[in-house]
Chain A
């Protein structure tokens, strides 16, 4: 029930956005977010964008995976 999927904002119109969900265009409400810009990735849940995905934090998490892989390769 609490699943939310990441989608890219392609159009904005007031509190409504068109998001691209792996090629599918879908209308979603951005009423729960303060600032949204075209190009942002947002988490979509029951037709609402819950939160923006922070690309820097995502990159940090992926870097941590790479570190752990290096740790595993050394072991």
Chain B
């Protein structure tokens, strides 16, 4: 596949890794946070972690929208679909995420609630057209990559005068979460692998404050393995030179200012939400968006009296600490025993890009092999 295969070449990966081995300073550690779950997944799936020198450590960040959504928001949605005559539709990633009391959207669907999995926000619009007698709620989640498609759906719904469609908005923003992790300082971070596709929308300039304020270098990295390895090399070079600037490795898709048309569309439909709760990170100010009052008719939270539900995480689950980069998944007591991708207890095990799922799918054999030697 063009633009995929050439960025996965094994010989080039090994050559790049040898360059990194030659350039790292053995006297120090390089603690690199990959913000995105997509990077965590690539690092494990392609064995990048095994190619790196021992003093390069990957710290897994909170960039997995399913993982950072508090269970209470899912419970709120379940209550809505069970009490009101609505069709609730959402991306497949969210279906199995544990809500409170061991519930999930999938279990609610099994009990008879009308919950549908969709691929695109345009499928939600199609459902509303096909079911004029029902109200269709799109349970929208995601970072800036996924927000513009939701904005587009709301604009189209308005243009079409679609009155039986609304969005339960849970879209969050990347830079505030990154700033929070750096401010909290729970995990010592020497460099950041910046998001691939979030950055196609918001542009590389959006991270300038992170570097300036916290003196941490950031390299926007593509999701293919050679992109990740080259970005690690770029971070190593910055760290060695005592630099802390934003660099862009993923130039084939990311510009300094991002996708202006998508940004304009987002700004038209959404405004800053004063505060939003993140699983693991707590309540963060100015870290999410809400639907502007001009589009209030398409805002599920305004159309229905939805209750905020607070739900405690399952006892023993250390997802919050994993999301803050303080613990690795295999340090959790539930990991691989009570909590598996088939029967997840924490959100980081559900999403295929969650750190726990990546460890379980690709990393546990490695950890096991290390323990035996």
Is the beta-carbon distance between A3 and B201 smaller than 8 angstroms? no
The answer to whether A47 touches B123 (Cβ under 8 A) is yes
Q: Which of B139-147, B185-193, B337-345 contacts A (4 or more CB under 8 A)?
A: B139-147
Q: A50 touching B353 by the CB < 8 A rule? A: no
* Interface residues as binary, A48-71 with B (CB distance below 8 Å gives 1, 0 otherwise): 101101110110111011001101
Interface size on A, residues (CB 8 A): 37
Flag if B3 contacts A53 (CB, 8 Å).
Answer: yes
Query: How far is B3's CA from A33's CA once the two chains are assembled, in angstroms?
Result: 19
Query: A31 — nearest CB in chain B belongs to which residue?
Result: B152
Q: Are B120 and A47 in contact (CB under 8 A)?
A: yes
Residues of B near A68 (CB, < 8 A) are 12, 15-16, 19, 230, 233
What's the nearest-Cβ distance from chain A to residue B125, in Å? 11
Q: How far is the CA of A45 from the CA of B226 in the complex (A)?
A: 21
- With both beta carbons as reference points, the residue of chain A lying nearest to B248 in the complex is identified as A57
B3: which of A3, A48, A58, A65 is its contact (CB, 8 Å)? A58
B198 within 8 A of A: yes
Residues A60 and B259 in contact, CB atoms below 8 Å apart: no
Q: Are A45 and B146 in contact (CB under 8 A)?
A: yes
> Secondary structure at chain A's binding surface: helix, strand, loop or mixed?
mixed
Q: Which of B213-252 contact A (CB under 8 A)?
A: 223, 226-227, 230, 233, 249, 251-252
Given A46-B119, A48-B152, A72-B19, verify A57-B200 contact (CB < 8 Å): no
Q: Give the residues from 21 to 50 in chain A that come closer than 8 angstroms, CB to CB, to chain B.
A: 22, 29, 31-34, 41, 43, 45-48, 50
For this complex, 14 residue pairs linking A to B, each with C-beta atoms less than 8 Å apart, are A1-B38, A1-B142, A1-B146, A1-B351, A2-B65, A3-B197, A3-B353, A34-B260, A45-B149, A46-B119, A48-B149, A54-B252, A65-B12, A72-B18
- The 9 residue pairs across chains A and B that have the minimum distance between CB atoms: A47-B120, A6-B3, A58-B252, A72-B15, A57-B251, A51-B200, A2-B145, A57-B252, A69-B15
Chain A residues in the interface with B (C-beta under 8 A)? 1-6, 8, 22, 29, 31-34, 41, 43, 45-48, 50-51, 53-55, 57-58, 60-62, 64-65, 68-69, 71-73, 75
| Known interface pairs A32-B262, A61-B252; 15 further A-B residue pairs with C-beta atoms within 8 A, sorted by A's residue number | A1-B143, A2-B142, A3-B197, A33-B259, A34-B260, A45-B149, A45-B197, A48-B148, A51-B200, A51-B254, A65-B9, A68-B19, A69-B16, A71-B19, A73-B15
